[in-house]
Amino acid sequence: MPMPPYPVICYAPGCQNEAVYKIAARWSDGITGELKTYSLVCKACLPELYRQARIKRDGCRLAAGESLDVPAIFQLDRGERDRQLVRCEELEKQLAG
């Protein structure tokens, strides 16, 4: 799904901050794959929504042959949306630990 050209607001209920991170996991059925987006979040809501994404991912029922990676955190830089998303592995480690 292409990103809209306007600022994206954080997915957390009641939060009006601009989203700066994308929480997403790589899904594949063995033939095709896609990045499944869980949330777009601001910095303040990242820990909570990342935690929720991991819970959701663990509860996800997969059909035979399907795989779903652990949710990853990507930086949502304005103007960088057409390029490769930058993964924040250090943040993932901090929040998962």
Provide the terminal-to-terminal Cα distance of the chain, rounded to the nearest Å: 30
Site membership for Zn ion, residue 91 (CB under 5 A): no
Judged by CB, which is closer to Zn ion: 69, or 92?
92
- Rule CB under 5 A: choose which of 17, 27, 37, 87 binds Zn ion: 17
Structure tokens at 40: 């777009």
* Smaller CB separation from Zn ion, 33 or 47: 47
Buried b (16+ CB within 10 A) or exposed e, 45-73: bbeebbebbbeebeeeeeeeeeeeeebbb
Is 42 an interacting residue with respect to Zn ion (CB under 5 A)? yes
Kindly state whether residue 73 participates in binding Zn ion, applying the rule CB under 5 A.
no
| Contact pick of 3, 9, 15, 68 for Zn ion (by CB under 5 A) | 15
